[in-house]
Structure 1
Amino acid sequence: VGAMILLTIVGSIVMAIVTAIRAEMTGEGSAGDIDRKDERDARIEAHGDRVAFYVSSVFMVGVLTMAMLEVPHFWIGNGTFVAFVVAGLVGAAAKLTSYRRGF
């Protein structure tokens, strides 16, 4: 199991390096273009994060309610996990929608 994890990490690093070198050689992009952001990208990212925050806040009120009602810890933990997963998915959907429809 440990060898597979190490092999996956090393393989990912090697593939990232090879892909960056290939992109530079073929002129399909440069390593500097990978993380370029403009003002619109920053605003869309902030909008998606804000939506995710609101969703997680609403779900966490439910988790707090479960804690006050002394629900078993298993359900409180799962509720917290679900809150963050749903918030992440809704935030990503908000970002994609903003890119698609314009912001």
Structure 2
Amino acid sequence: MSYEEKGTWVYLVVSLLTYVGYVVVVLGRVGDGALVDVPHAGPMLWAIGTSVVLAVVGRVALEAVRPSDRHRPDERDREVNRFGEHVAAVVLGAGMVVPLALALGEARHFWIANAIYAVFTLWAVVGASVKLVAYRRGF
């Protein structure tokens, strides 16, 4: 497994886990009140920050445990990355219609922020998944 493919696996797992963790925290704070009244900014920022740190630490730890033969991307790595980013960009562009519509409809900040975070997570998961499929099965 190449260095780039390992990094993609880490990115996929971390993106999913931190988003799920965020959702669990927010839903756990609902109690008897309304979901939109739950303080979400702090947990969201913590989830995003944790995601960045875990992606870096996870990639370094995985490389320490299972070193790669090479660390520089080759032509295949570049093509896989280009293809995955292209597909993910389509998802991001289409997905951002939702928070835009929410903003134009003057929805509460809770819904707009969560839609943006969900779309960015979807973008990361789809991009990483497409790349991993391309690594395993080709284009």
Match of 1:99 in 2: 135
Match of 2:113 in 1: 77
Identity of aligned residues (%): 40
**Cα shift readout 1:60-101 (whole Å, capped 9, x = no counterpart):** 011101110000011100000000001100111100111111
**1:63 matched to 2:92:** no
Matched residues, number: 78
Bigger relative CO (Cα 8 Å, ≥ 6 apart)? 2
TM-score, normalised via structure 1 length: 0.67
Gaps of 5+ in 2: 1-56
Displacement over 4 Å in runs of 4+? none
Match of 1:87 among 119, 123, 127: 123
Match of 1:45 in 2: 81
TM-score, normalised via structure 2 length: 0.50
Distance 2:138 2:110 in 1: 41
Gaps of 5+ in 1: 1-11
